Structure 1
Amino acid sequence: MTLAITIIIVLNTLFALITVFREPRDIAATWAWILVLTLIPVFGFVLYSFAGRKLPARRLFAYQGQDASEMLRRIRQLVNEGPGPSVDEEVAKLPRSAQSLVTLFQRINQTPLATNNEVQVMTSGQDFFERLKRSLRQAQESINLEFYTFYSDELGHEIRDILIERATAGVQVHVLYDSLGSAGTTARFFAPLRAAGGHAVPFLKRRFNLINFQLNFRDHRKIVVVDGRVGFVGGFNIGDQYLGRKKKFGHWRDTHLKIKGSGVYYLQAHFLLDWNASALKKPMNVLDEQYFPSLPKERPGKTNLQIVTSGPDSDDEQIKMGYIRLIQLAKKRCWIQTPYLIPDDSTIDALRIAANSGVDVRIMVPCMPDHMFVYRATQYFASQLAKDGIKVYYYQNGFLHAKTMVVDDQLSSVGSANFDFRSFKLNFEVNAFLYDEGIAKELAAVYEKDILQSSEQTVESFEEQSRWLRFKQVASRLLAPIL
């Protein structure tokens, strides 16, 4: 009996090593998966088959080609033909430090500066969904929606019915949703939309693909584009809980942007690429002029921004690189809001360097979990960062889901990417990086208002936690690279 157990352990360990090392991955994730596969025999391999393997490159890059290049060329042409100074002139007006961030995204994400945008900040579900519904009802040509979560609850039905009405009126409607994030929402829910001429498909999901099913790589983006002229990006999904209707979370505190201007082109471009990677039998024409109408003669606004995406289709971790660069550029303040705080070593080092250089670094996280292991890991990293003088706040007025960063008086970021391994490496994400003093001050004012409804967590308060709680935090931290 002892010999049999020994053989099983040896074989399990051997197969674990072979399984993990046959695909290149960072060392932290490698050790985390070895830990899971060796400590949880058999079941660990089942978990790995769903959550550990990489997506086949042929699926990730299926949408890239000459049409995508031509689409981006067309966008650059439209932006340069638009009102006001050229893109190069707008870049030249920025401080040299901000210019370095623009250059970074141009190189690693092929994302030029989008100039002359009108940007509105929304921090409540009531505000966001009222503006969203108003924009959807006004659609005349096309509606493109991409959400991690599209629940079939009261709000989900309301949004779907608006889409049905517009599709019936002849508007082209396309909905892209994540099958795991929208758990419980079946194809039947979207059947009336399809009957009205609209389209809805799950992201990168194929029929009869249980063998290749990947649990780990999720479409966490939140993109809405109406008539190619109005765009939305941020942290809200579609569901009742985002209106504070779920007792478990109570008030839902999030941040979203409404954009008019050239930035909408890049939201549209990323939606089209994601759609064509998922709906292979019903691709959209990325060169169709209706998706990229000419800019109005009058400049919509004065905000310059870049729409940046990241995901497992690239090793560049573009949004994480942007976060790190923002932290490096901070001279006075770097204020972060995130529901999940599970940074890797590079972001931890950047935060510590900034704090120890005299920058006012603050991180705000929720006071409650929605994923227990993730929350315990968040608590662990919060306690460690507090030791370096970083101010940590627990938001007390419901659930904080905002993903924002404010640096000094001009730079900021709002989007879908959390401050964690999953958003950095595994999820498909989208953020707007903004170069605007007014937006930075507005987000800073929101942050200060949120502090009034938060409790500061000090080194002493973390040390007063029970040993059992600290053990759960440390144990969760070991799994951080794969949570």
Structure 2
Amino acid sequence: MDTLRDFLAEYWPHLAFLTTFGISAIAAVHAAMSKRDVRAAIGWVAVILFSPLFGTFFYLIAGINRIRQDKVHQEHNAAITCPIQHGGRHAVTNLGPFAPRHLWSQKILGDHISGFPLLTNSSIQALDGGPETYPAMLAAIRNARHSVAMTSYIFDCDAIGKEIAEALIDARKRGLEVRVLIDAIGARYSHPPITSMLLRGGVQTALFMNTAFGLRLAYANLRSHRKIMIIDGTLALTGGMNIREEFITPAKGGTPARDAHFRLEGPIVSQLMHIFAQDWKFSTHETLEGPPWFPEDLPPAPDNMHPTAIRVVASGPDQNIGSTHNMILGALAVAERSVRIHTPYFLPDQPLIAALNTAARRGIAVDIVIPSNNNLRMVDYAMTAQLDQILGSGCRVWRAHGIFDHAKLLTVDGAWSYVGTSNLDPRSLRLNFEVDMEVYDPALAAWITRRIDSAITQSSPETLETLRARPRLKQLRNRLIWLASPYL
């Protein structure tokens, strides 16, 4: 025993070094072998090797996509049990009435990627910001007759959050089935969390990726960014809007932030309900089925006065990884006239950058609107550092002044649109659970175009010259932050 004690006393630094080196080497090899994106692989290997203890610990928490590799993946896939109703008689077989011929191949791509059929006989109405969205939510809840299902990334315990929570509690008191799912990180954006109020009011509430002892650290980097509200299985609201009063009440003497949401009726609602039911079962092990959630007879939307084809595209770090990424790549490949993009966070990877540059070089008008004043300063630094990669090819980038706009909008050739919860950044494209919709509807495309054109009139162009005019220290800062963009 004394010999062992003497040995450890003399050689413990060497043993600690070898142990640390061995653990770091294993973690670095795992990152190199499992990461599909070369930037992410290089970044994680560098973090692990240059900071062996912290880097390895951080990689174990945030770097391993366990959703795709272990029991959680199996549980999430097993949660897909709800039937996709009304797909057959409303499925689009001929895209001719809905879109020009050059976009027909985009439907084939969506057929392979989404898992949901493209549907007709559904309506979609754009809601511009909190002043239109929150009243629509409250009216929908108060007029509900059977059920309310709601999921959100952020559900703050502020004035608008409490008003919506009270409406949900009142719906439960009227005898309705009510389920609320909030991301475990997003639920902590305000204190006290809104979950306490909902649970006291009898509303069945759950946190996504959470345990009885708090947040699952192993999955802390994989969040549900979805925002869906479904009423009676027949009406849905989805889009970029979290539940936060900053989207309806001026903050610090300024003006409310802006976003976009969408109101849907018709068969498309079943697809959104399927996504919610899958996430709810994954989080609570309760299966939602039957008429309260999936009506047996879901008629077409009564106010659909023009041809609309629409489907839901779910994405996330599970079997749907890369869905939105591939849908956007396809749309950029078939575009013939214009690509209009509005996003608060613009950090595309190299394939998307190449697709945008190729579109611009083919003569396509590519306009990208991003905020002048971003709510995430570090993301803005990284965005700025990367803009030179698309400006040289003819893409136009606009910095919108005024209020911060959180909307995620994309439209191609005035006929095809992609809207929902996804940003064009690594987190949305690979780490978050997101829900978006591809829509063949000239009316929606025109609304998006008008909204983007309006933003451009209040914007300043970002050019290679404006990028070079920034002080060198700021350029260096931006590039250093950009190196961490896969983790922002």
Normalised by the length of structure 2, the TM-score is 0.89
Q: What does residue 51 of structure 1 align with?
A: 62
Please list, as runs of the form range in 1=range in 2, the aligned pairs for 1:131-142 lying within 5 A after superposition: 131-142=136-147
Q: Is the 8 A contact 2:82 2:274 kept in 1?
A: no
Aligned to 1:100: 105
2:436 paired residue among 425, 431, 436? 431
Match of 2:295 among 279, 289, 292: 292
Q: Is the 8 A contact 1:233 1:258 kept in 2?
A: yes
Note if 1:35 corresponds to 2:38.
no
Please state if 1:146 is matched with 2:143: no
Shift of the 358–206 alpha-carbon distance from structure 1 to 2, 3 Å rule, reads same
Compared CA separation, residues 110 and 211, structure 1 to 2 (3 A): closer
Q: 1:309 aligns with which of 296, 314, 329?
A: 314
Stretch moving more, 208-217 or 264-273: 208-217
1:220-231 map, 5 Å: 220-231=225-236
Distance of aligned partners of 1:11 and 1:249 in 2 relative to their CA distance in 1, 3 Å threshold: farther
What corresponds to 2:346 in structure 1?
Answer: 341
Q: Is the 8 A contact 1:228 1:293 kept in 2?
A: no
Q: What amino acid is aligned across from residue 468 of structure 2 in structure 1?
A: E
| Partner Cα distance (1:359, 1:125) in 2 | 33
| C-alpha contact 1:92 1:99 (8 A) present in aligned 2 | no
Whether 1:267 and 2:279 are equivalent positions in the alignment is: no
Q: Is the 8 A contact 1:12 1:38 kept in 2?
A: no
- 1:120, 1:259 within 8 Å by CA — same for their partners in 2? yes
Deviations 1:232-274 (A, max 9, x none): 1111100112224333984312111111111111111101101
| Deviates further, 237-246 or 135-144 | 237-246
Please give the alpha-carbon distance, in whole angstroms, between the structure 2 residues aligned to 1:68 and 1:175: 18
Letter in 2 for 1:467: R
What is the rounded CA distance, in whole Å, between the counterparts of 2:45 and 2:248 in structure 1?
Answer: 41
* Residues in 2 aligned to 1:184 and 1:476: alpha-carbon distance in whole angstroms: 24
Give 1:74-473 correspondences, 5 Å limit: 74-77=85-88, 80=89, 87-89=92-94, 94-185=99-190, 189-208=194-213, 213-247=218-252, 250-280=255-285, 283-288=286-291, 290-296=293-299, 299-301=302-304, 302=306, 303-314=308-319, 316-473=321-478
Q: Are positions 1:71 and 2:71 aligned together?
A: no
Residue 208 and residue 329 in structure 1: after superposition, are their counterparts in 2 closer, same or farther (change >3 A)? same
- Structure 2 spans left out of the alignment, 5+ residues: 1-10
Q: Which amino acid aligns with 1:386?
A: L
Paired residues of 1:16 and 1:38 also in contact (CA < 8 A) = no
What are the ranges of 5 or more consecutive residues in structure 1 without an aligned counterpart? none
CA distance in 1, matches of 2:34, 2:71: 16
Determine the C-alpha separation between the residues in 2 that align with 1:376 and 1:399.
16
8 A contact 2:184–2:209 mirrored in 1: no
Q: Deviations over 1:111-135 (max 9, x none)?
A: 1112122211122211111111111
After superposing the two structures, state which structure 1 stretch, 236-245 or 419-428, moved more. 236-245
Aligned-partner Cα distance in 2 for 1:22–1:331: 39
Distance 1:371 1:379 in 2: 12
> Shift of the alpha carbon at 1:231?
0.8
Query: Which residue of structure 2 lines up, in the alignment, with residue 18 of structure 1?
Result: 29
CA displacement 1:175-194 (0-9 Å, x = unmatched):
11111123245796334433
C-alpha contact 2:155 2:244 (8 A) present in aligned 1: yes
- 8 Å Cα contact 2:336-2:364 kept in structure 1: yes
Pick closer, same or farther for the CA change 1:175–1:347 going to 2, 3 Å.
same
* Inter-CA distance 472–286: structure 2 relative to 1 (3 Å threshold): farther
Q: Report the TM-score, using the length of structure 1 for normalisation.
A: 0.90
Identical counterparts, % of pairs: 27
C-alpha displacement of 1:93: 5.4
Aligned AA (2:247): Y
SS at 1:400 equivalent: coil
**Is the CA contact (8 Å cut-off) linking 2:209 and 2:223 kept in structure 1?**
no
Counterpart residue identity of residue 296, structure 1 = P
1:62 is matched with which residue?
75
- The one-letter amino acid of 2:276's match is F
Aligned residues, how many? 472
Corresponding residue for residue 478 of structure 1: 483
2:170 maps to a residue whose letter is: E
Q: Would the aligned equivalents of 1:341 and 1:381 in 2 still touch at CA under 8 Å? A: no
Contact between 1:68 and 1:286, CA under 8 Å: does it hold in 2?
A: no
Q: CA deviation at 1:142?
A: 0.7
Q: Supply the distance in 1 between the matched residues of 2:390 and 2:260 (Cα, whole angstroms).
A: 24
Going from structure 1 to structure 2, the CA distance change for 1:132 and 1:339 (only over 3 Å counts) comes to same
Aligned partner letter, 1:284: T
Change (3 A) 1:373 1:39: farther
Partner Cα separation in structure 2 for residue 224 and residue 91 of structure 1: 31
Residues 148, 181 of structure 1: 8 Å contact kept: yes
